[in-house]
Structure 1
Amino acid sequence: MISNQIIQNTIEGIKLITRIDLCVLDLEGRVCATTFPVEGEYSEAVAAFVNSQADSQAVHDNQFFKISDEIQVEYVMIAKGNTDDVYMVGKLATFQVQSLIVAYKERFDKDNFFKNLLLDNLLLVDIYNRAKKLHIESEVRRVVMIIETPLGKDNATLETVRGMFSSKSNDFVTAIDEKSIILIKEVKPEESYDNISRLGKTICDTLLSEVGRDVRVAYGTSVSEIREVSKSYKEARMALDVGKIFFDEEKVIAYSKLGIGRLIYQLPMPLCKMFIKEIFDGKSPYDFDEEMLTTINKFFENSLNVSETSRQLYIHRNTLVYRLDKLEKSTGLDLRIFEDAITFKIALMVVKYMNYFEKNDI
């Protein structure tokens, strides 16, 4: 809900323009914000005014006004004085604070709605009913983006992201935990995943330059129905997790680009250990020396092309063949044969997956 500080800033701004003092009290007569020293007890006067049918009333040479959230009275505004000008300023100030309360309440309600939507805490019928009540379009193409900072969520990062997308009526920014910020982004029909990826890079660059946060962004696939937003969120969450293992140098990770890493991530650890034992007889491919690992990675980068790999490594073709023969004797896998190369590549990824879980005690 709206904070007292926001109300205080609002009435101070109005006083600066009009030179008329204002005070906002809660329904028990306690001061929430004021531009003048409040003396005396207002609880009885406030209670009597709130229980009356009047929206405004002159009390002790001051003007009292009810501030509601369109449903019930939330505060009482006092304008100091009893002239027509004081009454007009009091009405304007009341309208301003009331508009802020309604806006903040709607934002709070939307925040709760999207949090429950992302976590699958809503029934299908409730999703569409609440979306209609909160003026959220149901049939809009959306994608969920997760923004994770190394130090966890902070107000500066959250407000910067909100500032980037607050002007877009169908975009929404929220946070489910302390580690990440969630952006539910409207995607226009003509926009592709390349556009979304570029947006992710823009978010990374903006947060680094404005608040000094080095973030990672992951996003799921786009969905056309609001009930499918949770699906995009789960995909983005998986993209973030898988990206840390197999794409650790990438700042923007797309679920659609995870490839075989997505499958490996879902393998149970006992199955991974059994696979590695069968392939390497209990050894690890990372037991090879740095020269061999560099050769293997470069060979894969060049699609198993011996000539191109030897050229890029600045070695003779026969030297590369010797290394591949040495690897075959050690593992029984000839990387020049496609099937063996695929087996070895998967094994490398499985070991990387296992090492990540072991390192992070997952």
Structure 2
Amino acid sequence: MISNQILQNTIEGLKSITKVEINVMDTDGKIIATTEDNAEEFNKSVTAFVGSPAESQLVQGYHFFKIYDDIQVEFVISVKGDAEDVYKIGQIAAFQIQNLLVAYKERFDKDNFIKNLLLDNLLLVDIYNRSKKLHIETEIKRVVYIIETKLEKDNNVLETVRNIFPTKGKDFITAVDEKNIIIVKELGESDTYVDIEKTAKVVLDTLNSEAMSQVYISFGTVVNDIKDVSRSFKEAKMALEVGKIFYSDKYVIGYNNLGIGRLIYQLPIQLCKMFIKEIFDGKTPDQFDEETLTTINKFFENSLNVSETSRQLYIHRNTLVYRLDKIQKTTGLDLRVFEDAITFKIALMVVKYMKHVDYYSNY
């Protein structure tokens, strides 16, 4: 829960101020952290002290103090010296570490709560009871972000994300698997999806520059009750998956901007195969050469405008018309006709989805 390194840093800081040697031991007397070069272990003395009703005790020139986790003794602190001022320093050290233990325990409990909340592992009554116990507001605007890293256990990214929200005690940053970092972010009353996307882009730019890591960021819809946070999380997961299939050039994608990709993603694969067979008679619309595919994509980008497309491709208008005629002969679809263009565009997306499903089914 609280690392030995944190305890070590704490007592070293106290020693630099007070010039008094301090040790932190477990309930068996084993040294966990110390400022002494050759710290003496008081195994039997510590065991006896832990079992006694005393909160502090003077043993062989050291003041002992108990640190509790709830009602259980978690650590014993010893400070070297038997003077009154050393006793006061020991009380301060005990108070400091006790507060650290409480703070880290609360953070650990909140992290566990948020993970179980995201994964739908809690009953409705447990959600509200634990929220109250952990002092987490239930009725407030929130959104869930997912940051997918390329590397597993990328602690550098996690620490950078935590530094982006250093004072936001009401935001929760956690991880539910090896590659995804989750942010449950509290929103202001006036925050819109534009603001949510801006925050995602700030995180993206920061990670690119500071953590030197390329990531994908997705987000779900805004929820107003803590019980709905898991829904926003599921939406963010879908947005991440759909974005990588259909909008691979985007590194920030919101569930509210998935468009037709969201519909295709939820189609049964058998229905997709029937659609492709019906429209293209067993062929697939991606079986064109690179030049033809570039022409098609640029034609769609320019809203079926022949003149603008030919200008951007640096080709004569008649050359473009020739290519479109060739596509019509091959597929039976005239991309200059809106209905045929829509059919072709959807077919391209369906093929992308089918390839994605085939890849992961054979993985």
Give the TM-score of the pair, scaled to structure 2.
0.95
How far apart are 1:153 and its partner, in Å? 3.2
Question: Where does residue 163 of structure 2 map in the other structure?
Answer: 163
Deviations 1:73-94 (A, max 9, x none): 2111101111011101101111
Contact 1:280 1:331 in 2 (8 A): yes
Alignment correspondent of 1:153: 153
Alpha-carbon separation, structure 1, partners of 2:58 and 2:207 = 51
Matched residue count: 361
Match of 1:177 in 2: 177
Query: Which is further off, 21-30 or 126-135?
Result: 21-30
Change (3 A) 1:154 1:71: farther
Distance 2:294 2:39 in 1: 75
Residue number in structure 2 paired with 1:253: 253
Distance across 2 between alignment mates of 1:60 and 1:315? 93
Q: Equivalent residue for 2:357? A: 357
- What does residue 119 of structure 2 align with? 119
CA distance in 2, matches of 1:5, 1:153: 20
Equivalents in 2 of 1:137, 1:72: separation in Å?
A: 29
Q: Which secondary structure state, in structure 2, belongs to the residue aligned with residue 287 of structure 1?
A: coil
Moved more, 211-220 or 120-129: 211-220
Asked if the contact 1:165/1:172 (under 8 Å) is kept, the reply is no
Question: Could you give the per-residue CA deviations for residues 174-229 of structure 1, whole angstroms, max 9, x where no partner exists?
Answer: 00000110011111111111111111111111112222111111111111100000
Conservation of the 8 A alpha-carbon contact between 1:221 and 1:256: yes
Query: What is the match of residue 39 of structure 1?
Result: 40
After superposition, give the CA deviation of every residue in 1:300-348 in whole Å (9 maximum; x if it has no partner): 1122223332333333433333322222221111222222211111000
How far residue 155 of structure 1 moved from its aligned partner, in angstroms, is: 1.6
Amino acid in structure 2 at the alignment position of 1:237: K
TM-score by length of 1: 0.95
Report the Cα offset of residue 54 of structure 1: 2.1
Aligned counterparts of 1:315 and 1:157: Cα–Cα separation in 2: 45
Show the counterpart of 1:10: 10
RMSD of aligned alpha carbons: 1.5
Aligned partner of 2:300 in structure 1 is 300
Contact 1:25 1:33 in 2 (8 A): yes
Whether 1:285 and 2:289 are equivalent positions in the alignment is no
Q: Distance in 2 between matches of 1:13 and 1:169?
A: 25
Could you tell me whether the CA contact under 8 Å between 1:23 and 1:31 is conserved in 2? Answer: yes
Q: CA deviation at 1:39?
A: 2.8
Paired AA for residue 186 in structure 1: E
1:208 aligned partner, one-letter code? N
Distance 1:68 1:166 in 2: 28
Gapped regions of structure 2 (runs ≥ 5): none
The 4+ residue runs of structure 1 with deviation greater than 4 A are: none
Alignment of 1:59-78 (within 5 A): 59-78=59-78
Query: What residue in structure 2 maps to residue 57 of structure 1?
Result: 57
Q: Residue by residue, what CA displacement relative to the aligned partner does 1:50-85 show, whole Å, maximum 9, x if unpaired?
A: 222221121222111111134322111101111011
Aligned to 2:92: 92
Contact 1:143 1:223 in 2 (8 A): yes
Whole-angstrom distance in 2 between the partners of 1:159 and 1:74: 28
How far apart, CA to CA, are the structure 2 residues paired with 1:347 and 1:276? 7
- Letter of the 2:172 partner, please give it: F
In 1, distance between residues paired with 2:2 and 2:205?
A: 31
Kindly state the Cα deviation for residue 263 of structure 1 after the two structures are TM-superposed: 1.1
Counting aligned pairs with the same residue, the percent is 65
| Structure 1 residues not aligned, in runs of 5+ | none
Question: How many angstroms does 1:350 deviate by?
Answer: 0.7
